[in-house]
Amino acid sequence: MNSSLKASIIDAHQRRDRLHPYEVLPWLTAALIFFLFPQFLNLGAHVLVTIIFVLSMDLLIGYAGIVTLGHAAFYGAGAYAAGILCVSAGINEPFTGLAVGTIVGGVVGILSGLMILRTRGLALLILSLALLLLLQEAANQASAWTGGADGLSGMSMAPLFGKYRFGLDGKVIYLYSLGVLFVCWLFLRMLLATPFGRSVVGIRENAVRMAAIGANVRRRELAIFTIAAAMAGLAGALAAQIDQFVSLNMLSFELSGMVLVILALGGVSRLYGAFLGTPVFFIAQDYLSKDNPVYWNFWLGLLLVAIVLFARGGVLGILARGFGRMRLQPAASSALSQARS
Amino acid sequence: MILTHRLVGLVALCALAAPSVSADTVVKVGSVLALTGPFASMGEGVDRGAALYMKLNRDKLPKGVSIELIRRDNAGPNPTAAKRLVQEMVVRDQIKYLTGAIFTPDAAAIAPLATEAKLPFILPNASTSSLTRMSPYIVRVSLTQWQLAYPMGEWAAKKGYKTAYIVVADYAPGHDTQEAFTRAFVGKGGQITGVLRIPQNVTDFAPYMQRIKDAKPDMVFMYINSRIAALKAYEAAGLKAAGIQLMGPGDLLNDDEMPAIGTAAEGVITGGIYTSNLVDPSPQNVAFLKAWATEYGADNKPSYLGVTGWDSMDMIFSAIAKLGPDAKPEAILEFLSNWKSDSGARGAISIDPKTRDIVQSVVVNRMENIDGKMMNRRIDVIPDVKDPWKIINPE
């Protein structure tokens, strides 16, 4: 490899990790929504929480290449942790709840990861699903703690920073969720630029080759699995707090499925797939179900079929095909592809 | 020329439209139900009952007042969506009344919201006893699990059944049913020989039925989700032939499932609040069934949910008729808590002002085979049943 080629590869990588002006767009949109559409802040807050959850799933599926159906297990674990902390232990300070939800999500993640990650492909898919169903039944049975099928009610959160109550208008929960999402995004952005982040992508591309160049594949996979689980736990805790309610749905297969659908809509392994797919999904759902509360699922299904058939890579894929070619300069891009091959 | 014509037309149109727009005060009523998903038929029952009432009773509203029903689907049970949708209806649409929530978790998630928004919230199904204590704005027009299982336990003991086996679905409503029946039955001198809590997705009941048969109880009290399979297994395993009486709450024998269950249900005794499939229906029930058949076709039979949907709308209409469209939430709540009616398909029902829960008769029916048609025959009526759980667990 000659030195000029090496320099241009490094240059291309640095360019990719640098903040792009486009990346301010989601935050700008979020701010505009806050001021222009105050009646949509509740829906908005739920969109923001779901984005965090979808981001954590993207980390697994898109970056690490670990396809699971059980990701809701960590979301639900975080939600129940925050809920039980509030109802049974009486600790209702929001940030404490978030921390506990994150830790519990992470612990469940590392324990299950030790088991699940021994397998690959279909076996992994089924094991993750089994874990989810086991946790759901456990939550159903432990009704003294979780409320069982009736759900865990009676969470009353303390005001945020001791000052701002979670009101009806949704302003506080919107800004709270936005803040948490921003921290998560910043963390992921940095994580993915580290050598560790790069190596995870490397494992996705070719696990054998990564092992051959000396990377401990199992340990790295477990680490990324745990991080994703902790982040899902964080999203679950946040959801429990803004709803002030936890139900068995948060541990359901349907929820895992919904997140997969959102990823397919938005685009996998792009970080911004979550930012685009989630609002598209929620707005389509909100709009369609308002128009017809009985048959709206049909149109949502049709939209999905259309995306999967005609727009691989989701909404972001369409955009990338339009603009993406301009992003990397020809020399750098060819250098990258040369280095890959 | 054309332009002036159009303008004239437009002005005329405005003139026509204007009075009706300005004179009508619109009262917005929100409804959150499971209209899609596995339990869509339950939401649909309530939805149809409410729609039928609205269609037939427009003239009950004061002049110049109309109702706009805002329907939302939470594909329940889905408390997160239920809460969000109600929050939106409160903030965006400014609803004055709320009805709905098929499932207890949905209602429980909405409860704190109803309190905060001072929104009268009428339950047409969710049946966990403690719900009405979760918000002072909740009024229940449906039933509670205890309201059926407890009087049935007492009734069975009184009729001379000594031993009973309990079979319930393994989730909160099943556990409620088990506790209620046990307390009442044992309290009157009966004995529980065994309890089976069956996971919700089980469809093969043969092994369970064999176990019950071996225990030789006088009767079985059953509350289960896969009713068709369970009833067929009850007959196939020979429990009926062995003389083990099967009893359950009213929805053990859903009217719309009877064609599938068939003669396996013969002789089964249920204690419920409503059935459309009765040998000698009351005049109110006949009128209701006739209106239903005209609207939805002769083949479509209402379940108790059609009746509670109708009654919840009756409550709202009578509140608006009495208090006008601009009543304060406190006044509405006061009215709803003292509401009474005998015009609904269930006959005389009322709300207990102390608990805001319904007081109604539990009708004991036996399923009979009348010329090849399975029909309920009323064999007893337990009048004015209040929610027993609230009496046993005072606040």
Mean pLDDT is lowest, of A20-29, A239-248, B355-364, for A20-29
Which of A168, A249, A290 lies at the smallest CB-CB distance from B87? A168
Which of B71, B92, B109 lies at the smallest CB-CB distance from A39? B92
Q: Which fold has domain B23-143+290-353?
A: Rossmann fold (3.40.50)
- H or E stretch including B264? none
Which of B35, B80, B134 lies at the smallest CB-CB distance from A243? B80
| pLDDT for the residue numbered A236 | 97
- With CB atoms and an 8 Å threshold, state whether A294 touches B73: yes
| pLDDT for the residue numbered A3 | 72
Residue A338 pLDDT grade (very low, low, confident, very high; cuts 50, 70, 90)? very low
| pLDDT for the residue numbered B5 | 54
Based on the number of CB atoms within 10 Å of its own CB, is A306 exposed (0-12), middle (13-18) or buried (19 or more)?
exposed
B116 close contact with A: CB closer than 8 A: yes
Question: Could you say which DSSP state residue B91 is in?
Answer: I
% of chain A at pLDDT higher than 90:
49
Rounded CA gap, A296 and A306, in Å?
16
Could you tell me if B46 and B308 are in contact, meaning their C-beta atoms sit under 8 angstroms apart? yes
Could you tell me if A44 and A169 are in contact, meaning their C-beta atoms sit under 8 angstroms apart? no
- With CB atoms and an 8 Å threshold, state whether B87 touches A294: no
- Selected for mutation to probe chain A from B44, B70, B73, B202 (highest A CB count within 10 Å) is B73
Could you tell me if A78 and A105 are in contact, meaning their C-beta atoms sit under 8 angstroms apart? yes
Residue A309 pLDDT grade (very low, low, confident, very high; cuts 50, 70, 90)? confident
| pLDDT for the residue numbered B171 | 83
Residue A264 pLDDT grade (very low, low, confident, very high; cuts 50, 70, 90)? confident
Question: Could you say which DSSP state residue A158 is in?
Answer: P
- With CB atoms and an 8 Å threshold, state whether A289 touches B87: no
Whether the predicted interface score ipTM is above 0.95: no
Q: What domain range includes position A163?
A: 3-340
- To which residue do tokens 């280095």 refer? A339
% of chain A at pLDDT higher than 70:
93
> What are A78-134's pLDDT values in tens digits?
999 999 999 998 888 999 999 999 999 999 999 999 999 999 889 999 999 999 999
Q: Count CB pairs under 8 A between chains A and B.
A: 99
Query: What count of other Cβ atoms lies within 10 Å of the Cβ of residue A210?
Result: 19
Q: Residue A330 above 80 pLDDT?
A: no
In sequence order, which residues have a C-beta less than 8 Å from that of residue A144 and are 6 or more positions away? none
Locate the DSSP E strands across chain A: none
| pLDDT for the residue numbered A324 | 59
Matching CATH topology for B23-143+290-353 and B146-272+361-392?
yes
The closest of B34, B30, B27 to B91, measured between CA atoms, is B30
Which of A168, A245, A248 lies at the smallest CB-CB distance from B91? A168
Rounded CA gap, B41 and A45, in Å?
31
Question: What is the reported pTM?
Answer: 0.82
Could you tell me if B224 and B168 are in contact, meaning their C-beta atoms sit under 8 angstroms apart? yes
Between A162 and B120, name the one with better pLDDT.
Answer: B120
Rounded CA gap, B97 and B69, in Å?
10
- To which residue do tokens 């068709």 refer? B228
CATH number for position A221? 1.10.3470
CATH code that applies to domain B146-272+361-392 = 3.40.50.2300
| pLDDT for the residue numbered A328 | 42
Terminal Cα-to-Cα distance of chain A (whole angstroms): 13
Note if the bond before B77 is cis, omega within 30 degrees. Answer: yes
The closest of B206, B213, B159, B156 to B185, measured between CA atoms, is B156
Q: Residue A169 above 70 pLDDT?
A: yes
| pLDDT for the residue numbered B15 | 45
- With CB atoms and an 8 Å threshold, state whether A150 touches B79: no
| pLDDT for the residue numbered A166 | 84
- With CB atoms and an 8 Å threshold, state whether B79 touches A245: yes
Average pLDDT, chain A: 87
Rounded CA gap, B109 and A24, in Å?
35
CA-angle at B196, arms to B192 and B198, nearest 5°:
155
Q: Residue A150 above 90 pLDDT?
A: no
| Residues of chain B under the 50 pLDDT cut | 1-3, 7-8, 10-22
Could you tell me if B245 and B218 are in contact, meaning their C-beta atoms sit under 8 angstroms apart? yes
AA letter at B302: P
- With CB atoms and an 8 Å threshold, state whether A151 touches B111: no
What does the domain layout of chain B look like in residue ranges?
Answer: 23-143+290-353, 146-272+361-392
| pLDDT for the residue numbered B11 | 47
- Indicate the pairing of strand B349-352 with strand B340-341: antiparallel
Is A22 strand, coil or helix? helix
pLDDT mean over A166-186: 91
| pLDDT for the residue numbered A2 | 65
In sequence order, which residues have a C-beta less than 8 Å from that of residue B22 and are 6 or more positions away? none
State the total domains in chain A.
1
